[in-house]
Amino acid sequence: MAAARGFPEAAPMEEEALDAYSAIVTRVAERLLPSVASLRVRSGWRPEGAGSAVAVTAEGLLLTSAHVVAGASRGVAGFADGGEYEVERVGSDPLSDLALVRARGARLVPVEMGDADRLRVGQLVVAVGNPLGYVGSVTAGVVSGLGRSLVTQVGDGQRVVDDVIQTDAALNPGNSGGALADARARLVGVNTAVAGVGLGLAIPLNRTTRRILEALNREGRVRRGYLGIAGASRPLPPAAAQRLGRQRAVGVMEVVPGSPAAGAGLRPGDLIVGVGGRPVASVGDLQGHLIGAGQGPLEIEILREGRLLRHTAVPHELR
């Protein structure tokens, strides 16, 4: 029968017809969907909560958000193939909003790990999770910002998680703990919060957070030192950049009175360029030196009014 006048017949969908953007998102989704679980947890008398988790080993280890499993006594991970497994908590770190759980008796398809430190603003990212109970949902967008801060609840107080990824890939309740991946389907972040309309936040997967995950897997917790500063990555002055052979440092914005940093003589306006003889260019670099309690004194190299100075701080264990 001829098509109705004015309404041409639809062309058949063929793989060749996919634009480059759609082709990338489709490939990433196909790779990630078998590795992302819907996580249902129960905490004592509280009603069941939901989130997402990402398989990181074939032997059943799953990465999720700490707030998803906070206080959870039991849970179930469900996968796109219909498989469901009881999960037990391996370790949780509210200060980074990361946690590990293990699916009992599961053989999983692990994701490939990426490096969030290589992300650039404007880069394509794909989020996979289980928002609003819809299992295996995929959204895509770009990295809207890097080095953002996230306020998270820890016990009766609040802490600031630094160095998070901001994206415009749509996130909704239930996405927390799900995967944020780059165009090659490598895991670069764990979706953690909705910051506003069209804005989502993710904890980066990089050298520092991998150390956190190793500690969670090994000890169930993370020991970290407390220095007592608020800071952010800042460009070095041209002369200092040429002298040191690098472009950025951590600018000290605030020093907590009575803290190890205050005792060491650090001041607002200082630029931290090195710790323990190694360069520091970001808050993540600085945090990496503070993971692990009982590490003893740290030599901190700073740039102040054009002069390079060395101060020694003894971090406290953060509890």
**Is residue 124 one of the residues assigned to a domain?**
yes
How many residues can be counted in the chain? 319
13-22: long-range contacts, CB 8 A cutoff, minimum separation 24: 21/124, 21/140
Return the amino acid letter for 208.
T
Cα(156)–Cα(86) distance, integer angstroms: 29
Catalytic pick among 35, 38, 93, 97: 97
Residues 87 and 127 in one domain: no
pLDDT at residue 223 in the model: 86
| Dihedrals phi, psi of 284, to nearest 5 degrees | -60, -40
Distance of CA 52 to the CA centre of its chain: 14
Cα(158)–Cα(268) distance, integer angstroms: 23
pLDDT at residue 6 in the model: 63
Range of 245's domain?
225-317
Residues 117 and 205 in one domain: yes
**Is residue 218 one of the residues assigned to a domain?**
no
CA-to-CA dists, residue 189 to 147, 182, 207, 210, angstroms = 13, 9, 12, 11
The domain boundary, picked from 155, 177, 209, lies at 209
Mode of pairing for the β-strands spanning 186-196 and 199-204: antiparallel
Spatial contact of 142 and 132, defined as CB atoms under 8 Å apart: no
The pTM of the full predicted model, rounded to 2 decimals, is: 0.79
**Is residue 14 one of the residues assigned to a domain?**
no
pLDDT at residue 17 in the model: 54
How many structural domains compose the chain?
Answer: 3
Residues 176 and 243 in one domain: no
**Residue holding tokens 């996979």?**
128
**Is residue 289 one of the residues assigned to a domain?**
yes
Residues 181 and 203 in one domain: yes
Distance of CA 112 to the CA centre of its chain: 15
Helix 207-219 crosses helix 283-290 at what angle (to 10 degrees)? 30
CATH of the domain at 289: 2.30.42.10
The domain boundary, picked from 103, 137, 155, lies at 103
Residues 200 and 241 in one domain: no
Residues 168 and 191 in one domain: yes
pLDDT at residue 98 in the model: 94
Residues 126 and 192 in one domain: yes
Cα(307)–Cα(180) distance, integer angstroms: 41
Q: If DSSP states are collapsed to H, E and C, what string results for 220-281?
A: CCCCEEECCEEEEEEECCHHHHHHHCCCEEEEEEEECCCCHHHHCCCCCCCEEEEECCEECC
**Is residue 5 one of the residues assigned to a domain?**
no
144 catalytic residue (yes or no): no
**Is residue 216 one of the residues assigned to a domain?**
no
CATH of the domain at 25: 2.40.10.10
Residues 145 and 88 in one domain: no
Mean pLDDT per block of 10 residues along the chain (319 residues) reads 56 62 93 94 67 95 93 86 92 90 93 95 94 80 84 56 84 87 97 73 91 92 86 90 92 90 94 92 84 77 94 85
176 catalytic residue (yes or no): yes
Catalytic pick among 96, 176, 233, 282: 176
Residues 269 and 313 in one domain: yes
For the record, the structure tokens of 71 come out as 């206080």
289 catalytic residue (yes or no): no
Residues 260 and 308 in one domain: yes
pLDDT at residue 173 in the model: 75
**Closest alpha carbon to 25 in 176, 132, 145, 127:** 127
Spatial contact of 249 and 273, defined as CB atoms under 8 Å apart: yes
The greatest distance separating any two alpha carbons of the chain, rounded to the nearest whole angstrom, comes to 86
Catalytic pick among 35, 38, 67, 144: 67
Angle CA 114–120–121, to nearest 5: 130
Return the amino acid letter for 20.
A
Residues 81 and 134 in one domain: no
**Is residue 275 one of the residues assigned to a domain?**
yes
**Is residue 6 one of the residues assigned to a domain?**
no
The domain boundary, picked from 76, 103, 130, lies at 103
What are the residue ranges of helices labelled H in the chain? 20-32, 207-219, 238-244, 260-263, 283-290
pLDDT at residue 14 in the model: 53
Residues 124 and 204 in one domain: yes
